[in-house]
Amino acid sequence: MKMKKEEKGVTAASGFSAAGIHCGLKKTGKKDLALIYSSRPAAAAGVFTQNRFQAAPVIVTRRHIASGSARAIVCNSGNANACSGEQGLYDAKRMAEVAAEKLGLQAEEVLVASTGVIGSNLPMEKIEAGIEKAAGLLSPDGWRDAAEAILTTDLVAKNAAYSLEIGGKMVTAGGIAKGSGMICPNMATMLSFVTTDCAITPDLLQRALRQTVDYSYNLITVDGDTSTNDMALVLANGMAQNPLIAEENDDFRRFVELLQQVNTELAQKIVRDGEGASKFLEVTVKNAPSYADGKKIALGILNSNLVKTAFFGEDANWGRIISAIGQTDADFDPERVDIFLGDLQVARNGCGLPFSEERAKEILAERDISIMVDLHLGKEKVTAWGSDLSYEYVRINASYRS
Looking at the fold, whether 240 and 313 belong to one and the same domain comes out as: no
Spans of the chain below 70 pLDDT: 180-183, 185, 187-189, 223-224, 274-276, 396-397, 399-402
Query: Domain holding 146: CATH number?
Result: 3.60.70.12
With left for phi above 0 and alpha for psi between -120 and 50, is residue 224 left, alpha or beta?
A: left
Q: Which residues of 45-80 are buried (b: 16+ CB within 10 A; e: fewer)?
A: bbbbbebeebbbbbebbeebbeeebbbbbbbbbbbb
Cα 388 to Cα 192, 215, 224, 340, 341, distances in angstroms: 23, 21, 12, 17, 15
pLDDT of residue 277: 75
Closest CA to 141 of 6, 38, 11, 5: 11
Looking at the fold, whether 189 and 212 belong to one and the same domain comes out as: yes
Q: Which residues are catalytic?
A: 189
Looking at the fold, whether 244 and 332 belong to one and the same domain comes out as: no
pLDDT of residue 23: 97
Task: Specify the pTM.
Answer: 0.90
Looking at the fold, whether 163 and 243 belong to one and the same domain comes out as: yes
pLDDT of residue 99: 98
- Total domains, the chain: 2
pLDDT of residue 152: 87
Looking at the fold, whether 46 and 90 belong to one and the same domain comes out as: yes
Of 252, 272, 292, the residue at which a domain comes to its end is 272
**Backbone phi, psi, residue 281, to 5°:** -105, 125
Greatest distance between any 2 Cα atoms in the chain:
69
Looking at the fold, whether 267 and 218 belong to one and the same domain comes out as: yes
**Backbone phi, psi, residue 193, to 5°:** -125, 120
Quote the DSSP letter at residue 215: T
Looking at the fold, whether 233 and 361 belong to one and the same domain comes out as: no
Looking at the fold, whether 34 and 83 belong to one and the same domain comes out as: yes
pLDDT of residue 183: 60
pLDDT of residue 228: 87
pLDDT of residue 401: 55
Looking at the fold, whether 232 and 348 belong to one and the same domain comes out as: no
Of 272, 307, 342, the residue at which a domain comes to its end is 272
Of 272, 293, 310, the residue at which a domain comes to its end is 272
Query: Domain holding 336: CATH number?
Result: 3.10.20.340
Domain hosting residue 219, numbered range: 4-272
pLDDT of residue 66: 97
pLDDT of residue 155: 83
pLDDT of residue 273: 79
